[in-house]
Chains A and B, each alone.
Chain A
Amino acid sequence: MRRPRTPAPLLVPATLAVAFLVLPLAGLLIRTPWSQLGALLTAPGVGQALRLSLVSATLATAVSVVLGVPLAWVLARSRARGRAVLRALVTVPLVLPPVVGGVALFLVLGRQGIVGSWLAATTGITIPFTTAAVVIAETFVAMPFLVISVEGALRAADARFEDAAATLGADRWTTFRRVTLPLVAPGVAAGAVLCWARALGEFGATITFAGNFPGTTQTMPLAVYLALQRDPQAAIVLSLVLLLVSVATLLLLRDRWLGRGAAA
């Protein structure tokens, strides 16, 4: 069946939008110094930054899954009052400028912070400007993505399976482990990938709360920004690496998003 033509008032802006989104990426590819690629990629700081980025984003995702999935369950299933308020609070980091998040984290966990000063006094541990601070900053910014995604999956999942489990003698915890979690596993996986991608690209909260120290807190986005000041060629190559990681993420999610759109 042939669909009617797209009307021009829609087609023109749509085409512009595509150009706007795709051209910068094309520009990145065009300006990539392909001949020096190997040398730039193996430069000492690059591997370090990439490794730190991958490790901290993965840790942030792990923390988000461990804490975020139970939170998503509470938002989706519990009948506790104040759930709407809770959901609003949880989504604040989604819309908050990351720099503000970084400042907020600093005020709480910094050496003079509410929790930070106590932590330093009792254990001697200070968090800011460490790799732990990177993970915390990334978790703060990325966990809402996971929570929202998993909550959506839980709402879409048929809660009557949980009724069936209850009639089979399963208490709520057993039901969660053996029925609910396996049912929403694809949603958790998609949320985790999204969360990981967001953590990988984190810039504002990280630089504010964790600083920019090569080897401990300088992640790829920070390295890109810094490189742009002194060595634009290196910045392009680092950007290319992040672009590849993003595309890989998209491919991972392809079945879930693009596939669903194509099937509809």
Chain B
Amino acid sequence: MSLAAEIAVQRGPVTVDVAVEVADGEVLAVLGPNGAGKSTLLRVLAGLLPPDGGRVAVGGRTWDDVTAGVHLPAHRRPLGMVFQDHLLFPHLSVRENVAFGPRTRGVPRAAARAAADGWIERVGLAGLGDRRPGQLSGGQAQRAALARALVGDPALLLLDEPLSALDARTRLAVRAELRRHLADFAGSTVLVTHDPVDAMALADRVLVVEDGAVVQAGTPADVARHPRTDYVARLVGLSLLPGTADGLTVRLDGGGVVAVAEPARGPVLVAVRPESVALYPSRPEGSPRNAWPARVAGATPHGSTVRCELDGEVPLVADVTATAFAELGLAPGSPVWAVVKASEVAVYTR
């Protein structure tokens, strides 16, 4: 059921020319700024927009092949799609929304309803099947949209900014659930997002797209540690550390303890942005709670800042100004202290 696509399509001034391959069970995040062509790519994969060139194949079956004149229309593609603002049909109940796909694909009414109810329960909306979308909260609506996309057991799951319409707190909860559902999903997933945290937390691989072209591809950790363009550096230089939370402290799996501002419990991911990591030549005064000794493993200049890769008990990436970098006399191998405020640490459940 794996996806292999190579498409070219002209959208206004931007020529989107992107190749993607996603294995079964794999999640690919397509990350990029607005107008980079991410959504265009998704619309082509969905069959909503015929490409100007290239081909799309899923599970060995050709969905698009411009030279051969093949274009499978959207409604004949076994896929599920989740949109940014859920797009649940407002005139149908949640159950009817989730059962819509099975019904149009010929599943008898009773079976479609049963399948819908099963998925409504799986996404944690048990008992809300009779509600109208307008009576749901944002998080509930997005869960229902996910159920609607997954109910038919599609070969390909397309997620178009699935979390960006949610408020910060809901986003954490829905992201964690989405992660679980994606882990159970047997088909290929393409996630389009402009939020690096979504990409880092949900994807097995990341594709960074700028101006319609792929500028970098790799695992989330790889892309974060070795950004190839300034945009990527600004966007994804996020350190993601797995650990176990107990209130306001997180014990990291790799050793070390991080103090956080928002209480959490159980397995979590700790995210630290490079610009919130401060470097000191010795342990700073006032004993900040998050201070770790480290060694500079690598340093790459990006514009006016230098990105420092840190080795140590807590592996981090720090952005420091070129001036600070020079004043500290830093070089690969230099010992430093890395300090992060608890309020600058983001925590979300795994």
**How far does the alpha carbon of A167 sit from the alpha carbon of B81 in the complex, in Å?**
6
Q: Does A171 contact B (CB under 8 A)?
A: yes
**How far does the alpha carbon of A161 sit from the alpha carbon of B100 in the complex, in Å?**
13
Identify which of residues 168-187 in chain A touch chain B, using a CB-to-CB cut-off of 8 Å: 168-171, 174-175, 178-179, 182-183, 185
- A189 nearest CB across to chain B (Å): 14
Query: Which of B75, B76, B83, B152 has the largest number of chain A CB atoms within 10 A?
Result: B75
A174 and B104 in contact, given A164-B81, A169-B152, A183-B91 (Cβ under 8 angstroms): yes
Can you name the residue of chain B whose Cβ is closest to the Cβ of A170? Answer: B104
Contacts of B73 in A (CB 8 A): 166, 171
Q: Find out whether the CB atom of B74 lies under 8 angstroms from the CB atom of A161.
A: no
Contacts of B80 in A (CB 8 A): 167
Contacts of A175 in B (CB 8 A): 75
**How far does the alpha carbon of A183 sit from the alpha carbon of B81 in the complex, in Å?**
20
Q: Find out whether the CB atom of A169 lies under 8 angstroms from the CB atom of B91.
A: no
Q: Find out whether the CB atom of A183 lies under 8 angstroms from the CB atom of B90.
A: yes
Q: Find out whether the CB atom of A169 lies under 8 angstroms from the CB atom of B75.
A: yes
Q: Does B148 contact A (CB under 8 A)?
A: yes
Q: Find out whether the CB atom of A167 lies under 8 angstroms from the CB atom of B104.
A: no
Contacts of B196 in A (CB 8 A): none
Residues of B in contact with A, size category: 20 to 34
Contacts of B87 in A (CB 8 A): 158, 160-161, 163-164
Q: Find out whether the CB atom of A169 lies under 8 angstroms from the CB atom of B83.
A: no
Query: Which of A160, A164, A179, A185 has the largest number of chain B CB atoms within 10 A?
Result: A164
Binding site of A, secondary structure by majority: helix, strand, loop or mixed? helix
Contacts of A178 in B (CB 8 A): 100, 104
Contacts of A183 in B (CB 8 A): 89-91
Cross-chain contact of A179 among B47, B76, B89 (Cβ < 8 A): B89
Q: Does B46 contact A (CB under 8 A)?
A: yes
- A156 nearest CB across to chain B (Å): 14
Cross-chain contact of A170 among B43, B75, B79, B83 (Cβ < 8 A): B75
**How far does the alpha carbon of A244 sit from the alpha carbon of B80 in the complex, in Å?**
53
Q: Find out whether the CB atom of B104 lies under 8 angstroms from the CB atom of A168.
A: yes
**How far does the alpha carbon of A208 sit from the alpha carbon of B90 in the complex, in Å?**
46
Q: Does B326 contact A (CB under 8 A)?
A: no
A169 and B105 in contact, given A160-B83, A163-B48, A164-B81 (Cβ under 8 angstroms): yes
Q: Does B37 contact A (CB under 8 A)?
A: no
Contacts of A185 in B (CB 8 A): 91
Q: Find out whether the CB atom of B89 lies under 8 angstroms from the CB atom of A161.
A: yes
Identify which of residues 104-123 in chain B touch chain A, using a CB-to-CB cut-off of 8 Å: 104-105
Contacts of B162 in A (CB 8 A): none
Can you name the residue of chain B whose Cβ is closest to the Cβ of A166? Answer: B74
Cross-chain contact of B48 among A166, A169, A174 (Cβ < 8 A): A166
Q: Does A241 contact B (CB under 8 A)?
A: no
